[in-house]
Structure 1
Amino acid sequence: MTDKMDKYRMVKTLTESQVSDLMDLYKNEFWSDKRTREDVVKMLAATDVIIGLVDEGDRLIGFTRVITDFVYRAMIFDVIVKPTHRKCGLGKVLMDAVLNHRELQAVESFALNCLPNMMPFYERWGFTDDVGEMKFMRRTTG
């Protein structure tokens, strides 16, 4: 990590205050701006791996999470960095932390969803949209 990133540390659980920071991060994004605190607390409790980046004041400035069986599949969600801290390499720090996480080393396949403009960011870790004949399917209830 560069000197600039040395002032941040990683956490694997969030304090109440950091959950509030996460809510602030979510409010900035179209894909998460409708999330409620109650639902986010429930989501965090059901998440297998949480990686947060906090600043010197313990404020959450970056976050991602993984749902996994720890063997075959892992799904990466919510790679997010506070707008004022973007373009500093913190997204890379989060992704490296996921893919180098000791509990995830045996996982056969990682997946994530992203907008087309974010594909080059994830390709550096070997992510591809070339998944052969596989198709993504979804069912929503809302």
Structure 2
Amino acid sequence: MTYQIIANLTENQISDLLELYKSEFWSYKRTHEDVVKMLAASDIIVGLVDENEQLIGFTRVLTDFVYRATIYDVIVKPTHRKMGLGAKLIDAVVNHPELASVEQIALYCLPEMIPFYERWGFSANVGEIRLMYRNHQFYAGTHQQ
């Protein structure tokens, strides 16, 4: 398989990304407008495109470029899975020159994906640290000062 790594998406590739998101339980509600806004606010974008410039894989990173970076949205087109493209995405992130001196890179994943990410040194053993969420839609207007 021939592919190329890109750092910015064309309008057609943004549409491809929206289609990728539509096929996943965690991202199917995303809109074109919100995805464009999200891309503009992402610090690092890694896309994989095929020989026709169609987006077949994607991930993004939010970072301060010193202490912390977090990987989001690792996604591969369903027809291109089991070909090692997810590994290519993670390789591109952990070897990205702008992240070379970042102290810690984090990501969120389902339990069944832990063995996949452990290959790059990611660990689910985070001691007493707990992830906390605040859902904007649920709390909007209910907890005002």
Equivalent residue in structure 2 for 1:25, among 20, 23, 33: 20
Cα deviation 1:81-112 (Å, max 9, x = unaligned)? 00000000000000000000000001100111
SS of alignment partner, residue 136 of structure 2: coil
Name the residue aligned to 2:64: 69
Structure of higher CA gyration radius? 2
Q: Which residue of 1 aligns with 2:44?
A: 49
The DSSP-based 3-state class of the residue aligned with 2:52 is coil
Identity between Structure 1 and Structure 2 (%): 66
State the distance in 1 between where 2:101 and 2:64 align.
Answer: 10
Alignment RMSD (CA, Å)? 0.6
- Matching residue of 1:123: 118
How far apart are residue 132 of structure 1 and its match? 1.1
Separation (CA, whole Å) in 2 of partners of 1:128 and 1:137: 18
Letter in 2 for 1:91: G
Q: Aligned pair 1:114/2:109, yes or no?
A: yes
Report the Cα distance in structure 1 between the residues aligned to 2:30 and 2:55, rounded to whole angstroms: 17
SS in 2 for 1:21: helix
2:84 matched to which residue of 1?
A: 89
Match for 1:24: what amino acid? E
Distance 2:31 2:56 in 1: 19
**TM norm structure 1:** 0.95
Report the AA paired with residue 115 of structure 1.
Answer: L
Is the aligned partner of 1:98 residue 2:85? no
Aligned length: 137
What are the superposed Cα offsets for residues 99-134 of structure 1, whole Å, 9 maximum, x if unpaired? Answer: 000000011001111111111110111111111111
Could you tell me which amino acid in structure 1 is paired with residue 113 of structure 2? M
Q: TM-score if structure 2 supplies the norm length?
A: 0.93
Q: Which runs of 5+ in 1 are unaligned?
A: none
| Corresponding residue for residue 80 of structure 1 | 75
- Structure 2: gaps of 5 or more residues: 138-145
